[in-house]
A and B are shown apart, each in its own frame.
Chain A
């Protein structure tokens, strides 16, 4: 009698689950057959991968694991510094991935990987099983790279803000509150780093802002490099907008293609490259000094974009090699270190592709396609990638990088000719249009990734 009651209550307890299972037999069995892909990291790479996996095969079960409930987009985040955007406007929710695309979004921190059992371990104690795993860990800022710099210093005195958050807000307050005639020093990073035109766009936007609000201010970019992505087109914008005189070698090289003004007196903005002593040796947060190979600069606001490596999670999971980045097979972005794990985005070693959101976005799509095909027992199709970086030299002065990539001789190579940047002789109208496109791109790109 007692035993029967127990069985009955057990059966009753099972009923809802059973009923649910029976009501969706097609879906449940199709998903079981199609497989389960887990994506770690809800940035551009991870979110795009999760969305496109479901677009490519709606029968696939996709789980996105991300630490933060809301994404804060780095793209366009320098515009918080000049007041064109605010911190709240950088926030993007994962709701559309859940409701429109049926992605299971799990807000949890990944703590480890059981590669043999194909399980992801999380801080809340879950073991999430996968057939395939995509890791999109992003970058880690190496705060310890310069003497006198640390994460603590970055949080309190000399912010980086390269991963947007509290440091971005602090830097915005410092810049907008800087004394009249003060000096803003931006320490540019060595290659490779996330968002190649980004530091120079930031310097430009602040120079534009200071021109209106703090006209005797100085902006000094100190750089461990002798050139940078978009350098000619960016410095041409500086030359036209801010009284910036290009280094002689640049001016000479560009002169046959475009008129370059010779201002003949120091402008608000200076670029000190490596060969002119721009490499930073140490910083002192107490005295707000930056010591480079060439000089000691007394600054009022210091923004340091430190050297970068693959996100800490990539190391925790054993996905990095001695280069501090993640080696992957082309074309599938499968890790060469762990089976059935793919690494995409800034953390991956992708040859000629820059570490940009657009790169991560197109890598996510080819990787999602590769996984869908492989799980169905079909070969990985021939991939193609693209990169577009829009950048601003001023509010209405847009420029860009435009790349198409294919696999050539086993490596990812640029295949769209020698021209990568805004042509030097382009019309003012096209320059304004590029700025307009930069603003539109922030919306359309965010939508392609998250909506």
Chain B
């Protein structure tokens, strides 16, 4: 019951929320990380395995975006759900939110872990993809005829 306001806040992150986050993104602290941060997490992941840091080849924003679809909807298009729809989200707040998940500045369940696999260039590429997508109608019943009924 006490989770409801937070859920609503997340699910209801509409344009206003995006704009607020965009304002945050313009603060000096949110300046883009230097190119040296290209594969920061990959490097830290291998440290325990005593391997030298490696540089991974770039991945397209679209390919990255499709990994989000299991929760955030195909092409980021999601109706009324607990997860934030990503289609049509302006790029700046998307990147800012993901960076805040990664740094722990924004609390999360699993997004903190997921974002540790994504560098800034990849976040920018994903953001550009999602910004281009048309948002879904509010009602996901209209978007998706398929609603597996979970009775509880």
Contacts and interface: CB of A to CB of B under 8 A. Distances in A.
Contacts of B114: 386, 388, 402, 404, 416
Given A361-B70, A416-B41, A417-B117, A383 B81 contact: no
A389 to B, nearest CB: 10
Contacts of B112: 419
Given A408-B56, A441-B70, A444-B71, A433 B146 contact: no
Contacts of A55: 74-75
A94 to B, nearest CB: 10
B144 A451 contact: yes
Contacts of B149: 88-89
Nearest to B39: A415
Interface residues of B, number: 53
B28 interface: no
Given A404-B114, A404-B117, A52 B150 contact: no
Interface stretch (A194-202, A336-344, A362-370): A362-370
Interface string A94-108: 011000100000000
B63 A382 contact: yes
Interface string B126-152: 000000000000001000111111111
B121 interface: no
Contacts of A450: 146
Given A369-B63, A418-B45, A420-B113, A382 B148 contact: no
A429 B6 CA distance: 9
A331 to B, nearest CB: 10
Contacts, number: 181
B66 A89 contact: no
Contact of A433 (B54, B78, B109): B109
B121 to A, nearest CB: 13
A433 B56 contact: no
Contacts of B57: 382
A397 interface: no
Interface residues of A, number: 69
B71 A441 contact: yes
B147 A416 contact: no
B117 A422 contact: no
Interface string A408-437: 110001111111101000110110111011
A433 B117 contact: no
Nearest to A90: B148
A381 B63 contact: yes
Given A85-B151, A447-B144, A384 B64 contact: yes
B45 A416 contact: yes
Given A362-B67, A382-B59, A444 B150 contact: no
Given A416-B116, A430-B108, 8 more contacts: A404-B118, A409-B54, A415-B117, A420-B113, A436-B3, A439-B150, A440-B82, A446-B148
Interface of B: 2-3, 6-7, 41-42, 44-46, 48, 54, 56-60, 63-64, 66-75, 78, 81-83, 107-110, 112-118, 140, 144-152
8 contacts: A89-B151, A382-B58, A382-B63, A398-B109, A416-B117, A418-B45, A433-B109, A451-B74
